[in-house]
Amino acid sequence: METLELTQEEQFQARIDADVRIEPKDWMPDAYRKTLIRQISQHAHSELVGMLPEGNWITRAPSLKRKSILLAKVQDEAGHGLYLYSAAETLGASRDQMLADLHSGKAKYSSIFNYPTLSWADMGCVGWLVDGAAILNQVPLCRTSYGPYARAMVRVCKEESFHQRQGFEIMQTLCEGSPEQKAMAQEGLNRWWWPTLMMFGPKDSESPNTEQSMKWRIKRFTNDELRQKFVDMMVPQAEFLGLTVPDPNLKWNEAKQGYDFGDVDWEEFWNVVKGNGMCNQERLQARVQAHEEGAWVREAALAHAEKRKQREAALVAA
Amino acid sequence: MSQKEWPLWEVFIRSKQGLDHKHVGSLHAADAEMAIQNARDVYTRRLEGVSIWVVESKHVHASNPDDSAAFYEPANDKIYRHPTFYQVPDSIKHM
Ligand SMILES: [Fe+2]
Ligand SMILES: [Fe+2]
């Protein structure tokens, strides 16, 4: 029998192919580590910035029940950010550095959060569509090759389904309400539909890293596959609500057992990615401001902990 | 602005009375008390736990995955440590 000498990288790939999870102290190619840090921290940033458009409505929710639900959802998103930052830290990234990159504009976050939330129906649309799209992206990542990332995603996914349901319930309530409420729901869908389709990222033909990411199993479906799944999932739900999906090219295709749909406005997509969306500046500014205004709290807590440590040490010495 | 990060803590949660504490993740906090409070807020928002342990991450010592072969191999050939190694006559019950 001939002996097979595998390189470190081949052994690594063999483990991934066998669906063995990679853990923090295991050897991994530099590019795998770097790609993961970028992907996980971008995801974490999205959770963090994602709190802002919904935070906008907490004080204006139409009832105490809705307010409590929205607060709980926004709090979950903060938690999701934390799970993900922690996962990135196991790869050697520093929390401060990741935040600095977000605040300087160097790091990206999901473009969807650069759109404004103008009406209460937008809280419905964000939960129903945006969290719905996030779930499609995230469920396959529960089986991603990097252990801490996969475990964080399991936790996130458990919490996301409540997010989508509360959004759908807001939409359903509006759609069963007055004509004005129904119109508000339709207007929300009109604004959110296309930006949500953009959440899945550029077309496969323009996503050069997809192949390597699929090979490493840090991505398990292509952008276009997920976009198709999303449309097929959401159209019947919109029909149930009595809402019209704002796409004249939307049509059931019997042969592929899925919907054909129009092309996303990619110019708008790239424009928002490059920082020129409606709220890019506002979001980043709000984030930086929150961080800076919290600086004294972080410093005071450290000083307090330090003082207490010294006091305890003095007690022991005495 | 201070560049000093709050230390990192590992969080362990007992999901219900009678079960072990299990590692659930990590977080930053200035001290143990804050770590426990943050762990409560982050990891037990849906009744996931009845008890929380936090340990500063720098105090965790781990085995080295590169040594795995040498470290765990000695158990490989000791199949007599498992009950299935032994043949019990059919007529013997309750064993
Ligand atoms: Fe989330
Ligand atoms: Fe969510």
pLDDT in tens, A145-175: 999 999 999 999 999 989 999 999 999 999 9
Domain match, A262 and A293 both: no
B78 vs A: CB within 8 A: no
Cα dist from A8 to A29, B66, B68, whole Å: 9, 12, 15
Q: How much is the pLDDT for B1?
A: 41
In the predicted model, what is the mean pLDDT of residues A70-74? 97
A308 CB neighbours in chain B (<8 A) are 31
Does A255 map to a domain? yes
Residue A253 has pLDDT above 60, yes or no: yes
pLDDT band at A272 (very low <50, low <70, confident <90, very high): very high
Cα separation, B30 vs A300, in Å, equals: 9
Domain match, A166 and A301 both: no
Per-block mean pLDDT, blocks of 10 residues, chain B (95 long): 79 97 96 96 93 97 88 87 93 91
Domain match, A133 and A176 both: yes
Domain match, A264 and A285 both: no
Does A1 map to a domain? no
Domain match, A170 and A292 both: no
Task: Output the CA A103–ligand 2 centroid distance in Å.
Answer: 22
Domain match, A106 and A214 both: yes
Q: How much is the pLDDT for A54?
A: 96
The backbone torsions φ and ψ at residue A289, rounded to the nearest 5 degrees and listed phi first, read: -60, -45
Identify the residue among B13, B31, B64 best suited for mutation to test binding to A, counting A beta carbons within 10 A and taking the highest: B31
Token readout for A107 is 């790091």
The backbone torsions φ and ψ at residue B86, rounded to the nearest 5 degrees and listed phi first, read: -100, 140
Counting the structural domains of chain A, the total is 2
Domain match, A144 and A26 both: yes
Host H or E run for residue A92: none
Cα separation, A193 vs A165, in Å, equals: 17
Q: Out of B28, B34, B45, whose CB is closest to A95? A: B28
In the predicted model, what is the mean pLDDT of residues A73-89? 96
Domain match, A256 and A282 both: no
Cα separation, A22 vs A40, in Å, equals: 15
Residue A138 has pLDDT above 60, yes or no: yes
Q: How much is the pLDDT for B95?
A: 87
Q: Give the total residue count for chain B.
A: 95
Beta bridge partners of B56: B9
Residue A208 has pLDDT above 90, yes or no: no
Name the residue among A80, A89, A177, A182 with its Cα closest to residue A135: A80
Q: How much is the pLDDT for A4?
A: 67
Mean per-residue pLDDT over chain A, rounded: 95
Q: Could you state, in order of their start, the residue ranges of all structural domains in chain B?
A: 8-62
Q: Is B31 helix (H, G, I), strand (E, B) or coil?
A: coil
Quote ipTM for the complex. Answer: 0.87
Domain match, A40 and A117 both: yes
Token readout for A151 is 């475990």
Does A3 map to a domain? no
Does A144 map to a domain? yes
In the predicted model, what is the mean pLDDT of residues A53-70? 96
Domain match, A285 and A186 both: no
Q: Do A96 and B5 touch (CB under 8 A)?
A: yes
Q: How much is the pLDDT for A2?
A: 52
Range of the domain at A25: 8-277
Q: How much is the pLDDT for B3?
A: 56
Q: Is B83 helix (H, G, I), strand (E, B) or coil?
A: helix
Residue A103 has pLDDT above 70, yes or no: yes
The CATH H-level superfamily of B8-62 is Phenylacetic acid degradation B (3.10.20.520)
Does A122 map to a domain? yes
Domain match, A45 and A129 both: yes
Distance from CA of A169 to the nearest CA of B (A): 21
Does A2 map to a domain? no
In the predicted model, what is the mean pLDDT of residues A178-199? 98
Ligand nearest to the CA of A128: 2
Domain match, A288 and A158 both: no
A80 → chain B, closest CA residue: B42
Q: How much is the pLDDT for B18?
A: 96
Cα separation, A188 vs A182, in Å, equals: 10
